[in-house]
Amino acid sequence: MMCRADQQPDPQDADADADADRTADAAFAALLEDSAEDLYENAPCGYLSTLMDGTIAKINGTLLDWLGLEREAVVGRKRFTDLLTVGGKLYHETHFAPLLRMQSEISGIALEMKQTGGGRIPVLVSSAVKHGTTGQPLLIRTTVFDARDRRAYEEELLRRREAAEEARRQAEADRARLQEALAVLQQSLLPDTLPPVPGAQTATHYHTASPDRLGGDFYDVFALDGQRFGFFLGDVCGKGPQAAALTSLTRYTLRAAALHDPDPVSALTTLNTVLHERYAGSGDPRYCTAVYGTLEPDPATGQLAVHLAAGGHPPAIVLRADGTADFLPTPGGLLVGILPSAPFTDATTVLGPGDTLLLYTDGLTEARTGQDRAGLYGDEALLAFVTAHAGKPPHAVVQALTGLLDSFGDGLDDDTALLAIGVPASDPQTRDER
Amino acid sequence: MRLERLAGMDIASRNHVTVTGNPQGPTVVLAHGFGCDQNMWRLTVPALVDDYRVVLFDHVGSGRSDASAFSEERYASLDGYARDVVEVCEALELRDAVFVGHSVSAMIGVLAAGLAPERIGALVMVAPSPRYIDDEGYRGGFSAEDIDELLASLEANYLGWSAAMAPVIMGNADRPELGDELRNSFCTTDPDMARVFARTTFLSDSRDDLKGVSVPTLVLECTQDVIAPREVGAFVHQAIPGSALVTLEATGHCPHLSAPEATNQAIVDFLASL
């Protein structure tokens, strides 16, 4: 024998069940609503029906109550637009009516209706056209919802929106002002122009990682006495206003120390003492890395004697006219300002025609490279890069490095300073390359 | 030549120009009024396409015009809209076209015909009004306060007034479901641009421009029109020398939608008389 899992009731039984359900439903409905007319009249929304020209043919008690109108004064006498405020009328004629004609229905339009006594009530209106059997439009059925609460809510939203818009404008203005102030401050930490050094050329570049942040790199070239010039380039720890204050202190301390005693190790030692005194006990220990040195042009030979010292800073590179390049190591120099007394190592070299001394900060060598930005650019890559530019004048070397920095894209997330000092090549052809 | 063609193409997309109908026939340009777009003419176009070349467009800020072309300064006067009409005519190299303008566009047509008489050879003014606000010896139908109320409503009821249509319209990128749901709606308008258009429409006074009309003109008015009452229709008719006035048995401001047969007949008869 088959076993029916999907047992269907006998069709006759089903009919009897449905009849019983209908009877029960009707009795239940009668308990609640004994009249469709009563439901229409006293529904919690306004109902009205109009002829196609807007003449009101039927309106329910709820809407009459809301508007304070008598049925006799409305039916056959007023048009739908007569119930609206002037603004509502205009909107009705320019938007509502044409859309209703084209779409046969329209819903949720916000209008205002006039109340007897001069009040006005915000409403949401939906309308649908009833068509005859041949498709001709017969009448318009409209429901009206009281939207007072909703309108109040919308107005509140609108106010909030305006307040938010104003706050955004203010924030943008503040941001623009701050950026301008930061740019001016940043400029004050870097010289506008470098003084001309007889028999030498200089070139610089400063890359700011973010316009919102004050960078902590610095450089300068300045006259010491009738013959010699001082130069330095460095990097203070941190960013922002504290770093800027440290940069300022470092710059002016180095300048003053160099005038007092131009010896590179002496100048860095003075800087170390000053920074340590200023920051060691402050609970906010700060330090910097720096290369400081002197330049002494020899008018007789056209050569430039370089004497420099460094503390915690990447080694300078010397690019030679013959197309070679190498680091000028200053091993063992400590970070400046960390310890009460710090050893610094000095080094000397002589730049001949076509030679260039390059100073840089570690933003360059620590730029992240590769697809995943996992690798660092590094000292060796830098040396290889600049070797290809050895023999070129300082501005050409800095230009090439600027291109390199740009190529790092978002891999370059730190400030970077470049300072190149060179002796013009004696060969006029090379010099013309500038 | 090449530059002119390019400029023409720009104008066509700026105003979402649509050309239909009989390419050999005389050209009829249909211009929508404030509040809607070229869809308003959907019941008129079928009556014209057999015999006329029909040009439809959206004013900048309405319908599918290029919103990026909107300029509050340009469209603060009807002249800005009229210059657009002339540019559309130039782009299509129209001569002696019949310009059918509804509501405010009826006056825009008058101004355009003044700017480029060789382009526009006749005017049909559907429910026109040269000035909506009452003035001494003139009844426009509205007081200055009424129009202020309309404009205040537009300003204040950003959400209320335009909530039903704004989302369509603004192409809310963050709420794509709104766009999908309402994509088939007509008469899309950017609320900010609509505000400018409303101000320009209802605060302009172009009465003095009517007497300069020198082309054949048909004025169509409705028996019951809140926005352009019959006194205004009579005023326009009297002010334009030699104009014809037809009063349509129609209620409301859009007879081309509410009484399309009568409206179309009046337009077709006028076109045949030219």
Contact list, B163 vs chain A (CB under 8 Å): 108, 110, 154
Split at pLDDT 50, 70, 90, the class of B84 is very high
The yes-or-no verdict on residue A87 having pLDDT over 70 is: yes
Nearest CA to CA, how far is A93 from chain B (Å)? 6
Q: Tell me, what's the pLDDT at A214?
A: 72
Q: Do residue A97 and residue B252 have CB atoms under 8 angstroms apart?
A: yes
Nearest CA to CA, how far is A44 from chain B (Å)? 21
Interface test with A, best of B226, B227, B232, B249 (most A CBs within 10 A): B226
Q: Tokens 């540019």 correspond to what residue?
A: B87
3-state secondary structure (DSSP) of residue A428: helix
Q: Tell me, what's the pLDDT at A413?
A: 82
Contact list, A94 vs chain B (CB under 8 Å): 33-36, 103, 227, 253
Q: Tell me, what's the pLDDT at B230?
A: 95
In a domain, A167, yes or no: no
3-state secondary structure (DSSP) of residue A108: strand
Contact list, A157 vs chain B (CB under 8 Å): 159
Residue of higher predicted confidence among A204 and A110: A204
In a domain, A289, yes or no: yes
The yes-or-no verdict on residue A12 having pLDDT over 90 is: no
* Number of domains into which chain A is organized: 2
What six digits make up the tokens of B156?
């204040």
3-state secondary structure (DSSP) of residue A129: strand
Provide the mean pLDDT of chain A.
87
Question: A421 and A295, same structural domain?
Answer: yes
Split at pLDDT 50, 70, 90, the class of B5 is very low
The yes-or-no verdict on residue B172 having pLDDT over 50 is: no
CATH number of the domain within which A65 lies:
3.30.450.20
In a domain, A79, yes or no: yes
From B163, B186, B251, residue closest to A110, measured CB to CB: B163
Question: A252 and A343, same structural domain?
Answer: yes
Tell me if chain B has a CB within 8 Å of the CB of A81. Answer: yes
In a domain, B234, yes or no: yes
**If we measure between CA atoms, which residue out of B226, B232, B224, B231 comes closest to residue B249?**
B224
Q: Do residue B33 and residue A97 have CB atoms under 8 angstroms apart?
A: no
Which stretch of A20-24, A104-108, A268-272, A416-420 has the lowest confidence by average pLDDT?
A20-24
Q: Do residue A154 and residue B253 have CB atoms under 8 angstroms apart?
A: no
Question: A289 and A233, same structural domain?
Answer: yes
In a domain, B55, yes or no: yes
Report how far residue B1's alpha carbon sits from residue B244's, in angstroms, rounded to the nearest whole number: 40
Split at pLDDT 50, 70, 90, the class of B3 is very low
DSSP assignment of chain B, as one string?
-HHHHHHHHHHHHHTT-EEEE-TTSPEEEEE--TT--GGGGTTTHHHHTTTSEEEEE--TTBTTS-GGG--TTGGGSHHHHHHHHHHHHHHTT--SEEEEEETHHHHHHHHHHHH-TTTEEEEEEES--SB-B-BTTB--SB-HHHHHHHHHHHHHTHHHHHTTTHHHHHT-TT-HHHHHHHTT-S--B-HHHHHHHHHHHHH-B-HHHHTT--S-EEEEEEEE-SSS-HHHHHHHHHHSTT-EEEEEEEESS-HHHHSHHHHHHHHHHHHHH-
Q: Do residue A94 and residue B150 have CB atoms under 8 angstroms apart?
A: no
Contact list, A88 vs chain B (CB under 8 Å): 153
In a domain, B49, yes or no: yes
Check if the beta carbon of residue A210 is closer than 8 Å to that of residue A430: no
* Number of domains into which chain B is organized: 1
In a domain, B61, yes or no: yes
Split at pLDDT 50, 70, 90, the class of A16 is low
Sequence-distant (≥ 6) Cβ neighbours of residue A232 within 8 angstroms? A218, A219, A220, A254, A290, A291, A292, A293
In a domain, B53, yes or no: yes
Question: A84 and A204, same structural domain?
Answer: no
Q: Tell me, what's the pLDDT at B130?
A: 96
- What would the pLDDT profile of A382-421 be if each residue is shown by its tens digit? 999 999 999 999 999 999 999 999 999 888 888 899 999 9
Residue of higher predicted confidence among B28 and A8: B28
- What would the pLDDT profile of B30-58 be if each residue is shown by its tens digit? 999 987 889 889 999 999 999 999 999 99
Which stretch of A288-302, A364-378, B213-227 has the lowest confidence by average pLDDT?
A364-378
Q: Do residue B227 and residue A157 have CB atoms under 8 angstroms apart?
A: no
Residues 251-290 of A with CB under 8 A from B: none
Nearest CA to CA, how far is B163 from chain A (Å)? 8
CATH number of the domain within which A399 lies:
3.60.40.10
In a domain, A412, yes or no: yes
Strand residues in A40-104 grouped as ranges (E):
46-51, 56-59
Contact list, A110 vs chain B (CB under 8 Å): 157, 159-161, 163-164
Question: A197 and A133, same structural domain?
Answer: no
Residues A137-160, mean pLDDT to the nearest whole number: 87
Q: Tell me which of A120, A146, A172 is where a domain ends.
A: A146
In a domain, A81, yes or no: yes
- What would the pLDDT profile of A25-71 be if each residue is shown by its tens digit? 766 666 666 688 999 999 999 999 999 999 999 999 999 999 999 99
Residues of chain A above pLDDT 70, percent:
90
In a domain, A407, yes or no: yes
Question: A346 and A250, same structural domain?
Answer: yes
- What would the pLDDT profile of B87-132 be if each residue is shown by its tens digit? 999 999 999 999 999 999 999 999 999 999 999 999 999 999 999 9
Bridge partners of B120, per DSSP, are B97
Range of the domain at B110: 2-132+205-273
Range of the domain at A125: 30-146
Contact list, B253 vs chain A (CB under 8 Å): 93-94, 97
Q: Tell me, what's the pLDDT at B153?
A: 63
Nearest CA to CA, how far is B34 from chain A (Å)? 7
Q: Tell me, what's the pLDDT at A4?
A: 45
Specify whether the backbone of B141 is left (phi greater than 0), alpha (psi in -120 to 50) or beta: left
Report how far residue A291's alpha carbon sits from residue A311's, in angstroms, rounded to the nearest whole number: 7
Q: Pairing mode, if any, of strands B18-21 and B53-57?
A: antiparallel
- What would the pLDDT profile of B150-169 be if each residue is shown by its tens digit? 776 665 444 444 444 433 33
DSSP assignment of A287-306, as one string?
-EEEEEEEEEEETTTTEEEE
In a domain, B97, yes or no: yes
Residues A104-132, mean pLDDT to the nearest whole number: 90
Provide the mean pLDDT of chain B.
85
Residues A297-314, mean pLDDT to the nearest whole number: 94
Helices A394-408 and A379-387 pack at an angle, to 10 degrees, of 130
Predicted complex: ipTM over 0.85 = no
Question: A196 and A140, same structural domain?
Answer: no
In a domain, B93, yes or no: yes
In a domain, A351, yes or no: yes
Query: Letter for the amino acid at B109?
Result: G
Handedness of CA A81, B222, B109, B7 (dihedral sign): positive
CATH number of the domain within which B238 lies:
3.40.50.1820
Q: Give the number of beta-carbon pairs within 8 Å between A and B.
A: 103
The length of chain B is: 274
Q: Tokens 């084209």 correspond to what residue?
A: A102
Tell me if chain B has a CB within 8 Å of the CB of A114. Answer: no
Q: Do residue B152 and residue A87 have CB atoms under 8 angstroms apart?
A: yes
In a domain, B16, yes or no: yes
- What would the pLDDT profile of B185-228 be if each residue is shown by its tens digit? 456 566 778 888 888 999 999 999 999 999 999 999 999 898 99
What six digits make up the tokens of A401?
């490095």
Q: Do residue B226 and residue A93 have CB atoms under 8 angstroms apart?
A: yes
Contact list, A52 vs chain B (CB under 8 Å): 251, 258
CA A54 to chain centroid, in Å, comes to 54
Check if the beta carbon of residue B15 is closer than 8 Å to that of residue B84: yes
**If we measure between CA atoms, which residue out of A141, A122, A135, A132 comes closest to residue A54?**
A141
In a domain, A140, yes or no: yes
From A102, A109, A155, residue closest to B257, measured CB to CB: A102
Report how far residue A263's alpha carbon sits from residue A250's, in angstroms, rounded to the nearest whole number: 17
From A90, A99, A147, residue closest to B150, measured CB to CB: A90
Check if the beta carbon of residue A326 is closer than 8 Å to that of residue A278: no
Beta carbons within 10 angstroms of residue B167's beta carbon: 18
Question: A372 and A267, same structural domain?
Answer: yes
Check if the beta carbon of residue B237 is closer than 8 Å to that of residue B250: no
Nearest CA to CA, how far is A168 from chain B (Å)? 19
Tell me if chain B has a CB within 8 Å of the CB of A2. Answer: no
- What would the pLDDT profile of A260-294 be if each residue is shown by its tens digit? 999 999 999 999 999 999 988 888 888 999 999 99
Split at pLDDT 50, 70, 90, the class of A434 is very low
